[in-house]
Amino acid sequence: MSDSKRASASRVEIAQIMQPNDANFLGKVFGGAVLAMIDLCAYAASSKHSGRVCVTASFDRVDFHEPINVGELVTMIGQVSFVGRTSLEVTIEIYAQNLLTSDKRHTNTAQVTMVALDANGKPVPVPQLIPETREEKLRYLQGKLRRELRSLQRAEYETQAAVFASASEEELDRLLTTPTLLTK
């Protein structure tokens, strides 16, 4: 069994001023520029916890509630929230600050699952996580719940997708007009 490490020891903070080349066609910051920064922050926190090179396995849902402007300072605070055997979930809080007024707002929270790799590029066990504060304990439980729900949802999706794939044309046409595909 690998050593255990405190969740707080994985905390990282990165900051970057959004530049004109980060802009979309409306002059606001392009979603991909924010996602790239989230990915870097997840890499830093997961590698800090595991002491390994980590790769991105999946992004959990990321909602963009409000735009970030070119010229604003984006700060991301990442910390490992949950670990499996070789995977680590990193929670990232994202803030944007107008440098002229100092107004700072929380724009998103993102969760990214990273996997630690050994020198041969194979998944390798990571240290257990010690959540200490109430917030860290909540995040750990939420991360575990997200993982269990993802696996349940994937299994249900694959079952239903197989039903679609084997359906006749008439059955597909009937399904196209069905208000909901969920049966429970």
Residues making contact with ligand COA (CB under 6 A): 55-58, 84-87, 113, 115, 123
User: Least separation, in Å, of the C-beta of 57 and ligand COA?
Assistant: 4
Query: Do residues 79 and 13 lie in contact, with contact meaning Cβ atoms separated by under 8 Å?
Result: no
User: Which one, of 93, 103, 41, lies nearest residue 72 by Cα?
Assistant: 103
User: Least separation, in Å, of the C-beta of 79 and ligand COA?
Assistant: 17
User: Least separation, in Å, of the C-beta of 98 and ligand COA?
Assistant: 32
User: Least separation, in Å, of the C-beta of 123 and ligand COA?
Assistant: 4
Listed in sequence order, the residues at least 6 apart from 153 whose beta carbon sits closer than 8 Å to its beta carbon are none
Comparing CB distances to ligand COA, the nearer of 57 and 73 is: 57
Comparing CB distances to ligand COA, the nearer of 94 and 112 is: 112
Comparing CB distances to ligand COA, the nearer of 86 and 108 is: 86
User: Which one, of 61, 124, 130, lies nearest residue 91 by Cα?
Assistant: 61
Residue that is written with structure tokens 């690998």 in the block: 2
Side-chain half-sphere CA neighbours of 1 within 13 A: 6
